[in-house]
Amino acid sequence: MTLHEHQSAETWPSLPLDAWKETYETLHLWTQIVGKLRLTLCPFTNHWWHTTLYVTARGLTTSPMPYGTRSFQVDFDFISHQLLISTNDGAVRTLALAPRSVADFYQEFLSTLHEMGIDVSILPMPQEIPNPIRFDTDTQHRSYDPEYANRCWRIMVETDRVFKEFRSRFLGKVSPSHFFWGSFDLAVTRFSGRRAPLHPGGGLLPAWITQEAYSHEVSSAGFWPGSGPIQYPAFYSYAYPEPPGFKTAAISPGSAFYSPELGDFILPYEDVRTATSPDETLLAFLQTTYEAAADNGQWDRVELERQPAS
């Protein structure tokens, strides 16, 4: 079965931001609480790759994390709507994913870990969120609509599949398809192999965090449900450093555009969802925006790209 044959309207569901914004905000904070375990426990990996979550057949996972001589992982299940904690010595605990405050989720999650013999101290302040509230005092965010949580995950499943196809075409350094809980986006990043100029920082993260993320030249793409100037789910693609000619490059499909506010190319998710071939539409966006970065940035494409079989 080819990429364009493996799809239906059901696999790319609608996700209007207004319909689930409160659930999105709550779920974002829950993923941060879980993600901070990886940040704390896993060995540091370049560009903060040790902190990310990964798409699974049922939700999102930390993958195995070390705890002394033990190993454990945490999984969001957006089919049965549970948080699953499992260890390599057979212990299993579940928490319900249901309407509840961030403070309640935080307390029960850490208490459950303690009962399993796992005690981890994490910074209780959210990241990359305007006007953050400490996890342990946040009773404001308490929404969970299982239908929309499931829809968002289903979109990530399809996106992850296409990202992995796109990733396979590159011989150079390339990230996994992974979920950044700070910004709630699924991303994949290609590298030219050259160091980048020191990132100036700015935004909601300290400069030293951003500078580690962008220590080398990148072409990066991702999916997120929308925020700021983009109040709808969308795919994005950007380059750092942005080379001259990047923002005016011809890209596909025709509905994609360059956002000066974000410094990204944007492709509305709805245009992918309703396309005759969502996979090929998304792949065209990924490929042409990468080419805009690589050609204008003078990447060695012959050495970095896998040539199609003749």
Strand ranges inside the chain, DSSP E: 54-55, 59-61, 65-67, 70-77, 82-87, 92-96, 178-180, 185-195, 216-224, 234-240, 257-259, 264-268
Same domain, 186 and 133: no
Q: Does residue 279 belong to any structural domain of this protein?
A: yes
Work out whether the CA dihedral 283, 286, 291, 294 comes out positive or negative: negative
The predicted model scores a pTM of 0.95
Same domain, 151 and 264: yes
Q: Does residue 89 belong to any structural domain of this protein?
A: yes
Last residue of a domain, one of 84, 105, 137: 137
pLDDT tens digit sequence for 239-293: 999 999 999 999 999 999 999 999 999 999 999 999 999 999 999 999 999 999 9
Hey, what long-range contacts does 72-75 have (CB within 8 A, 24 or more apart)? 72/116, 72/118, 74/34, 74/37
Same domain, 153 and 100: no
Last residue of a domain, one of 137, 163, 181: 137
Same domain, 154 and 36: no
Same domain, 126 and 275: no
Give residue 227's domain range.
147-304
DSSP 118-139: -------S-SS-SS---GGG--
Instruction: Name the CA radius of gyration of the chain, rounded.
Output: 20
Looking at residue 203, what is its pLDDT?
A: 87
Q: Does residue 8 belong to any structural domain of this protein?
A: no
Collapse the DSSP code of 232 into the 3-class scheme (helix H, G, I; strand E, B; otherwise coil) and give the result.
coil
Residue 244: φ, ψ to 5°: -55, 140
pLDDT tens digit sequence for 166-206: 999 999 999 999 999 999 999 999 999 999 999 999 888 99
Amino acid (one-letter) located at 184: F
Same domain, 155 and 288: yes
Amino acid (one-letter) located at 300: D
Amino acid (one-letter) located at 232: Y
Same domain, 162 and 283: yes
310 pLDDT band, cuts 50/70/90, is low
Q: Does residue 126 belong to any structural domain of this protein?
A: yes
Using alpha carbons, select from 242, 248, 250 the residue that is nearest to residue 285: 250
Cα 112 versus chain centre, distance: 26
pLDDT tops 90 at residue 10: no
Same domain, 93 and 208: no
Last residue of a domain, one of 75, 104, 137: 137
The mean predicted confidence, pLDDT, of the chain is: 95
> Are 285 and 251 spatial neighbours (Cβ–Cβ below 8 Å)?
yes
Distance CA 109, CA 107 (A): 6
Same domain, 84 and 158: no
Using alpha carbons, select from 282, 285, 295 the residue that is nearest to residue 264: 285
Q: Does residue 263 belong to any structural domain of this protein?
A: yes
**From 9-18, 47-56, 132-141, 165-174, the region with the lowest mean pLDDT:** 9-18
Same domain, 173 and 284: yes
The domain tally of the chain equals 2
Same domain, 70 and 201: no
Q: Does residue 45 belong to any structural domain of this protein?
A: yes
Same domain, 164 and 35: no
Q: Does residue 214 belong to any structural domain of this protein?
A: yes
Q: Does residue 310 belong to any structural domain of this protein?
A: no
> Are 185 and 224 spatial neighbours (Cβ–Cβ below 8 Å)?
yes
DSSP 135-154: GGG--S-----HHHHHHHHH
